[in-house]
Amino acid sequence: MGRTPFDLADIVRRHRPELEQIQPLTPAQGRALSAISLCRTAALGGHVNVCPGCAWSESPSYNSCRNRHCPKCQNLAQERWIANRAEAILPIPHFHGVLTLPEDLRPLARRHPREILGAMFQCAQAAFLELGESRLGATLGLTLVLHTWTRDLRYHPHVHVLVTAGGLALNGERFKRAREKFLLPVKPLARLFRGKMMAELRRLQEEGQIALSAGASGAMLASLARQEWVAYLKRAFCSPQWVLQYLGRYTHRVGIANSRLLNVTAEEVTFRTKCGRQVTLTPVAFLQRFVLHILPGRFKKIRHAGLYASPKALAQARTFLSPAPPPAGKPPTWEEALLAHTGQDVTRCRSCGERLHRWALPSCFRGFHRPELAPSRSPP
């Protein structure tokens, strides 16, 4: 698909004041919207490349905001993450699992995102590891990625889990491989996750970390206990390289990409969902849905557990599977990463091939390279 003529940043710049009139923003939401609105503009500074050979010069290139919620700042971050994880991934097949937060818990997660989403991570990894130990007699390797959206930007928290097809035996003496098409039973996994989440909700309430009356808490827990929670598990890919590329589709995805915006006017925003369908909202309603998916500051949306959280256990497991990987080289610069990803060498003149000289353009915001320092309006 070609580049879309529409940009989320334009919607933010034009309609953020209307949004703030009807809805207070959290500090994290304010910082993210500020970063998105300034991304790749003169306000953040940039550079101009000039060729000393033929005097060719390009238009100014402005700096990115690097905010993890910005749709324009994720491609290179994703490629770098994949390159870093290539050293740790085990050379075995992996399974892809998804654990979903029930609808009854979503309002509570919106009010207390750090507590509820953090509990979701802890209970998801505990359920997989406990079931792996009891059913396989092994410690699995897990990489977990949080998503909070549906394709139409509604609030739907769920955790994607990439799971090794087997694990290190509990006595540490061998690596136990799982069957080719089956890792763990889904229903026991969902029920174990449900039990752990309900226990964690009781703990959070007792410690006063979530605000619920005794009556409301009892009714909610009774309703959750009657429900069958949703769990999903299927085999992904055999090759470690394919596993990383598959997981890379999830790690740095944001709520909506600019490529999904079909039409933007002062009155409407239309965007693609799935299977050829589309949704039309007012710009303010669109932003209301978008800010639902801005995570609290410093909240980790990618986590590792089991073998992938223990360098010692991972190295021990690797000895049973393959020789040690070669030592990591120097990480690539962003120019080298862009060249490898797109084939475009931005350090050379397009006309004569001479190495370009770079002239820096100053930024209006000192220290803005740290996303958490982005300017933000305080909630009213």
Residue 35 has which token pair? Answer: 């970063």
pTM (two decimals):
0.86
pLDDT at 370: 42
d(Cα 354, Cα 362) in Å, to the nearest integer?
A: 25
Q: How many CA atoms lie within 13 A of 18 on its CB side?
A: 14
d(Cα 56, Cα 67) in Å, to the nearest integer?
A: 32
pLDDT at 324: 52
pLDDT at 358: 78
User: Does residue 204 sit in helix, strand or coil?
Assistant: helix
Task: Going residue by residue through the chain, which has 380 residues, state the pLDDT in tens, using 9 for 90 and above.
Answer: 446 689 999 999 999 999 999 999 999 999 999 999 999 999 999 988 888 878 777 788 889 999 999 999 887 778 778 877 877 889 888 999 999 999 999 999 999 999 999 999 999 999 999 999 999 999 999 999 999 999 999 999 999 999 999 999 999 999 999 987 899 999 999 999 999 999 999 999 999 899 877 777 888 889 999 999 999 998 866 676 777 777 777 788 899 999 999 999 999 999 999 988 999 999 999 999 999 999 999 999 999 999 999 999 999 999 998 755 545 556 677 677 777 767 778 788 877 878 888 778 777 765 444 443 333 333 33
CA nearest neighbour of 269 among 278, 285, 281, 252: 281
d(Cα 6, Cα 355) in Å, to the nearest integer?
A: 33
Task: Delimit the domains of the chain by residue range.
Answer: 8-69+331-373, 88-255+293-319
Query: Residue 331 carries which DSSP code?
Result: P
Taking phi over 0 as left and psi of -120 to 50 as alpha, with beta for the rest, 339 belongs to alpha
Token pair 């039309």 is at which residue? 280
d(Cα 156, Cα 131) in Å, to the nearest integer?
A: 25
pLDDT at 238: 67
Residue partners of 225: CB distance under 8 A and separation at least 6: 194, 198
β-strand partners of 169: 138
User: Does residue 138 sit in helix, strand or coil?
Assistant: strand
CA 60 to chain centre: 30
d(Cα 246, Cα 286) in Å, to the nearest integer?
A: 29
